[in-house]
Structure formats: C-alpha cells, structure tokens
Amino acid sequence: MKVLVFNTLKNSGVEEVLKEHGFEIVSYNPDVVVSYGGDGTLMRAEHMYPGIPKLPLRASAVCKLCSPISNEEVLKKIEKKKYSIEEFWKLNVVARGETYVGVNDVIVHNKDPRHAIRYDVSVNNKKILEGVIGDGVVVATPFGSTGYYRSITDSYFEVGMGLAFNNSTEQSDHIVLKESSMIRITIARGPAIVYVDNRKESIELDEGEFAEIKKSDQVAKIIRVI
C-alpha cells in the first residue's frame, strides 16, 4: 500500500514505523493519506488531499476520530486487511462567488468580536428567522456535530444538517434540518466572516451579502479498523 504521511510534528519517526509494517512512503498518488496527529490534523489532511482515504494515527491526546487501540495494533490490522472505509458527506458554502468545502462545519461569525452581527436565516428559500443578533451561526454535518456545534448546543446528531446559533441575544433553539436543505445566511449588519473547519482562509461579508450552505457532492473517506 502506498501512503502519503500528513504530519505536523518534526522528527516523529512515523515514516519509519510505517515502513516496518510494509507500507511504501510516497509524495504523490497515494492509496491512503496517513494523518498523524489529532482531529485538527485530520481536517487539514482532508482539505489538502480531498477524497483520498485517510488513516488517522494518534499523536495527540485529542483525537476522537482515532482508533482506541494503539497505532501499532492499527497498522497490524491494516496489514491483515481488517478494515473498512467509511464515507462522510461534506458541506458546500458559496459566498461572494467563492466556494469552500468542509467536512465538519461551516461557520458565519462576527469579524470584530466587540460587535455582534445581525442576520436573517432562510431554509429552502423560505425565511425562518429575521434580524437575529449574535456572534453568528454554525452549520454542521453529523461528522462535525461533536465539535463546535456540540459546544454551543450541548447536543449532537447522527442524521441531517445542524444549525446552531452562537451567543444570540434572544434565545434561538438549534435546529436539525434534512441533509438536502439549503441554508442562506444574509447579513443585515456586519462585517461577518465565513470559514470552514479549521482552515485559515475566510470570506468577508458586508451588509446585504449572503452565504449559501448545502450538502456537497464530495465525501470524506476514513479508514476504520475492525
């Protein structure tokens, strides 16, 4: 199996361990991308190498997506082909003519933390909320619902698309919509920024501009040992 190692740690020695288990280390056209780190490393690996199966190996105390068994045991199971590939759908966000794709969530947030934004929310071209004041919204996939979405709502979900309201001045309950839904967030008072997962890039939105969020055609593929 040809693997590309996505590793943010220096001198980790993970390449040598992989070679000992019979994996071929490559820099392009891999069969699998090994994400060596935590959940954030896996998100960055998916952004850099979308659609290629990811094998998360633990190098962080926070890696909910890593196997509970040791990395050594994981690699032994991979050698014996005791694994499956699980697919997770992603989200598309379009704003100002740009498109971002995320596997966890899409976030619309106030650019200046000293000032709230005001925004409207539409679902499938029907306005459901108007003039919401707060720090913004988080739209999450089931895959990402245990992250930022859960910290806001104290809940997670396994089916659908989650919409959470971040520090609204009036109580706004979170909503779980059908995964086929299209959500539009229109800024009535900004500026706001739009970003996905833990990516550094963002899009700025001013008054009257909007972000449209829906299910992507892309999927993330995660290797699970069995």
Dump pLDDT digits (tens) for 28-79: 999 999 999 988 899 999 999 999 999 999 987 778 888 999 999 999 999 9
Q: Architecture of 90-217 per CATH?
A: Sandwich (2.60)
Is 3.20.20.70 the CATH number for 2-81? no
Backbone region of residue 197 per phi and psi (left: phi > 0; alpha: psi in -120 to 50; beta: other values): left
| Contact residues for 38 (Cβ-Cβ < 8 A; gap 6+) | 58, 59, 60, 61, 62, 63, 66
Q: Which of 1, 224, 199 is nearest to 104 (CA)?
A: 199
* 151 SS3 class: helix
pTM of the model: 0.90
Check whether 225 has a pLDDT greater than 90.
Answer: yes
% of the chain at pLDDT higher than 90: 89
Delimiting residues of CATH 2.60.200.30 domain(s) in the chain: 90-217
CATH 3.40.50.10330 residue window(s) in the chain: 2-81
**Residue-wise pLDDT tens digits, 105-156:** 999 999 999 999 999 999 999 999 999 999 999 999 999 999 999 999 999 9
